[in-house]
Amino acid sequence: MNQLDTQITSFEKLHRYLFDDKHVRGELVQLHACYQQILANHDYPQGVSILLGELLVATSLLTATLKFEGEISVQLQGDGPVGYMVINGTMLSRDNSQQMRGIAKLKQATEAQGLKALIGKGTMVITIRPKVGEAYQGIVALDHDTLAECLSHYFEVSEQIPTKIWLFVDREKSLAAGSLIQLLPDGGDKQAQLNDFEYLCQLTNTIKADEIFTLSADELLYRLYHQEKVKLYEPQLIRYQCSCSEEKCLNAIAQLNSDEIKTILAEQGHITMTCDYCQSNYVFDEKKLADFIDHTDH
């Protein structure tokens, strides 16, 4: 087993860390299986796969800054060859985990690379549905060249918090990773805090793709900040989980009236529904729908 294979076994985690005397927090996420499963059963062009990997990492980093239990959706939409691209996440406190799924919908075949070429003129829509409290939606124009820059801009506009983000994707090896540095202002010397933030951004900016894809979190943080006091918290587990189910399909079928259901069954012998995300097929024959049909006839 080579170094990359060894390191992949410790992926699927988001690490939070804090600089003890700098009023700055950080995050590091490294993914393999989750990214691989999102791409499975989809024949996306390379550029689309890469941007979807970046969006996956960006969404994971974003959830860690919000500290809530519930659901999040980060969607890119525009007038480019990709109609929309979305990552949906569920935050669970019971096992300190994130469940992720995602999809891209193309208007046309494309070999384009990069945010602007794929999405065109568009927006990033961030929707948050906490388990407790009000739902929130933020919309940010995709005015910057990269997704990392757009997400940093989101924090600047909506939270007024200086934030810097780095995103890395290796499509061939199905690796996606990223880092975030964020200022934690506390009412003290603002200029000194901003100087600390800029200094730590400069250190983080030295991350290389082969390092974030091969070093453990401990090794990478030591490589970047060995002269700093860094407190590393318990990692949050990240896994792929599609939310489709037979029950949700039946709820969708319930939107049809009894005659429509009977017509489809008469013509096809069954009703088949396919999940856009994971491509799972759900097949409902007359026996499975008998009680449902009887109910709608009354």
Cβ atoms within 10 Å of 184's Cβ, excluding its own: 14
In the chain, where the domains are located? 3-240, 246-297
Strand partners, 126: 74, 138
Out of 24-38, 97-111, 239-253, which region has the weakest mean confidence (pLDDT)?
239-253
- pTM score, two decimals? 0.89
- pLDDT tens column, 256-285: 878 888 888 888 888 898 888 888 888 888
Joined together, the tokens standing for residue 68 give 């809530």
Query: Considering the domain 246-297, what is its CATH architecture?
Result: Alpha-Beta Complex (3.90)
Residues 26/232, Cβ–Cβ less than 8 Å: no
Burial of 21 per CB tally in 10 Å (0-12, 13-18, 19+): exposed
Instruction: Report domain 3-240's class.
Output: alpha beta
Tell me what pLDDT residue 172 has: 95
Q: What is the rounded average pLDDT for all residues in the chain?
A: 89
Predicted confidence (pLDDT) at residue 188 exceeds the cutoff of 80:
no
Place of tokens 């489709």: 244
CA distance 142 to 247: 36
For 60, the 3-state DSSP assignment is helix
Rounded to the nearest 10 degrees, the angle between the axes of helix 46-66 and helix 147-154 is 20
Tell me what pLDDT residue 180 has: 97
One-letter amino acid identity for 27? E
Residues 178/85, Cβ–Cβ less than 8 Å: no
Burial of 38 per CB tally in 10 Å (0-12, 13-18, 19+): buried
Joined together, the tokens standing for residue 99 give 């469940």
- pLDDT tens column, 85-102: 999 999 887 778 899 999
